[in-house]
A and B are shown apart, each in its own frame.
Chain A
Amino acid sequence: MQCQECGKKPATLHFTKIVNGEKTEFHICEACAREKGELIPGTPGGFSIHSLLSGLLDFEPAAQSGLGPKPQTIRCEECGLTYSQFSKIGRFGCSSCYRHFSGRLDPLFKRVHGNTVHVGKIPLRSGQQIQSRREIEQLKLELQEKISHEEFESAAQIRDRIRELERRLADA
């Protein structure tokens, strides 16, 4: 079997990548393996996670072809990358690409992550406002809970906390 990266040398490394139960096999030569991407700590040689992902990213939502602008003409105004370049190389050019390609990205995120909305960490300093908004939403849920259990004293405390956060947001 020939190496699937260079097509020249015989493939001596064979490995399987399984994501969400979907199995993909890779056959590459040692030279190509060594040249590529992330390494596994403690193993000789190495191989790339990126070449494995290109299959996932080479992705044109079928339902959208024929609708809206052609991918070649969608372009990030900040860095100049086109959507079709993006889908070929699988990399964004800058953080604004996310905004300029936004109409097309959710199906991709859905397919890669099964989700489209971040729920994790928020930057400590620059994300204070987002943090406050999230906290207010959480507190409002708690408030409803307390009211429905007729725990009015703690409900009042939560309401005060919400007001304080809302005031701080307005001042910012």
Chain B
Amino acid sequence: MERRRFAQDALSEWMKTNGPDSEIVISSRIRIARNLSRHPFPMLATNQQSREVMEQLTGVARDERLESFGRFDIFILSELNELEKKVLVEKHLISPGLANESRGGALLLNDKESVSIMINEEDHLRIQCLYPGFQIKEAWTVASRIDDTFEGAVDFAFDEKLGYLTSCPTNVGTGIRASVMMHLPALVLTQQINRILSAITQVGLAVRGLYGEGSEAVGNLFQISNQITLGQSEEEIIDNLYGVARQIIEHEKAARERLMAESRVRVEDRVNRSFGILSHASIMDSKEAAQRLSDVRLGIDLGIIQDVPPCVMNELMVMTQPGFLQQVFDEVLNPEQRDIRRAELIRGQLLKSESGGV
């Protein structure tokens, strides 16, 4: 079978350009949840009703109403194979829920993969816009216009007092989840991270970090998002997130400067050691890969490593996930084989970029 476009490239087109503050903010994302007014939510919909919802919503793309946001492909989830679904999940273009549990599930994906629209996930419609770097306001502008386009064609469940009605009460009102993915290695290294994260959560935001053993987040990546969707306007929600993220950027920058001023050699050692291991290891598990890639990424941002472009790091974060690895090597891999293939892939990519051929 011919490989679908999304399965060939680890890095979505939108991730290949550098956004503002991209040395700290990896990506900005807006997700809005909407439902049709006359159908039960997907959880309670009959198969027939789910099909109707899918027909109505994919119809908006078929009618080419979305064309000002790119060229859209329509994927019916039941027509994709397991590996393709896994790759879409690893690229964060769909949720595991849509991949595994949806009935009448569909995905509308634009050519840059910056807009992914999920149909019949937890809500009938979830519009997701992704931007590289710190561009949360830009992402909202586009998501809101796509929302308007759909609303021109279908009736949304909306209540004058409660706003947009969603399957989960945590989304009611604006139905918006705004989030920024931040790489904060210096705040972790200088042990300021917990203090800062707990401070920013006083203002209605949630922080999610993925922790491995010990206290360090895997890959030093943290997602900060709004928690409140009712009683604040979209602009307030986004301004709040923007302001807080801006402060974290400044703290991370200050921590990086301090690290370089006070312990330059130690930082260089850590970065170069990780680079050495990634360039030469024969077995690499996903957790070690995430941590070492974070070190190298920091090294690139600090100018310690100069031959590797930052987007190679983003690319490797996705490429080294189990589904994508199997797609790249075109075979089913057990965990042990995966660790060997992962090491091989990372070595190859780093070598390629060092010799200037990215």
Contacts and interface: CB of A to CB of B under 8 A. Distances in A.
Interface of A: 12-21, 23, 33-47, 49-50, 53, 56-57, 78-81, 90-95, 98, 105, 108-109, 112-127, 130
Q: Which of B122, B162, B176, B232 has the most CB of A within 10 A?
A: B162
A59 B170 CA distance: 13
B329 interface: no
B204 A20 contact: yes
Nearest to A46: B96
Nearest to A90: B168
Contacts of A81: 44
A15 B165 contact: no
Contacts of B96: 34-37, 39, 46
Interface string B232-250: 1110010000000000000
Given A39-B89, A39-B92, A120-B173, A15 B211 contact: yes
- 4 A-B pairs closest in CB distance: A115-B231, A118-B163, A95-B157, A18-B201
Interface of B: 26-27, 29, 35, 37, 39-41, 43-44, 89, 92, 95-97, 100, 122, 130, 144, 147-148, 151-152, 155-170, 172-174, 176, 181, 197-198, 201-202, 204, 206-213, 217-219, 221, 223, 227-234, 237, 286-287, 289-290, 314, 317-318, 320-321
A69 B63 CA distance: 48
A43 B151 CA distance: 33
Contacts of B290: 43-44
Contacts of A47: 208, 210
B173 A118 contact: yes
Nearest to B97: A37
Nearest to B32: A121
B211 A113 contact: no
A114 B159 CA distance: 18
28 contacts: A18-B201, A23-B198, A39-B89, A40-B208, A40-B223, A41-B29, A41-B181, A43-B290, A44-B290, A45-B210, A46-B96, A56-B170, A57-B169, A91-B122, A91-B168, A95-B159, A98-B159, A113-B229, A113-B230, A114-B204, A118-B230, A120-B176, A120-B232, A121-B164, A121-B233, A123-B151, A124-B148, A124-B151
Given A78-B40, A90-B168, 18 more contacts: A18-B207, A23-B198, A35-B100, A40-B181, A42-B314, A43-B218, A44-B317, A92-B41, A92-B168, A95-B35, A95-B157, A98-B172, A113-B173, A114-B204, A117-B161, A117-B162, A125-B151, A126-B155
A127 B158 contact: yes
Nearest to B199: A21
Contacts of A14: 211-213
Contacts of A117: 161-162, 230-231
Contacts of B147: 121
Contacts of B213: 12, 14
A118 B161 contact: yes
Contacts of B97: 37
Contact of A95 (B160, B165, B229): B165
Most chain B CB inside 10 Å of its own CB: which residue of A90, A108, A123: A123
Contacts of B151: 123-126
A12 B169 CA distance: 30
A94 B40 contact: yes
A15 B223 CA distance: 12
Contacts of A37: 95-97
Contacts of B159: 95, 98, 118
A14 B39 CA distance: 39
B169 A41 contact: no
A18 B202 CA distance: 9
A33 to B, nearest CB: 8
Contacts of B181: 40-42
Contacts of B314: 42
A118 B175 CA distance: 10
A62 to B, nearest CB: 18
A140 to B, nearest CB: 18
Identify which of A20, A36, A42, A127 gathers the most chain B CB atoms within 10 Å of its CB: A42
B50 to A, nearest CB: 13
Given A12-B212, A126-B151, A42 B317 contact: yes
B152 A124 contact: yes
A55 B166 CA distance: 19
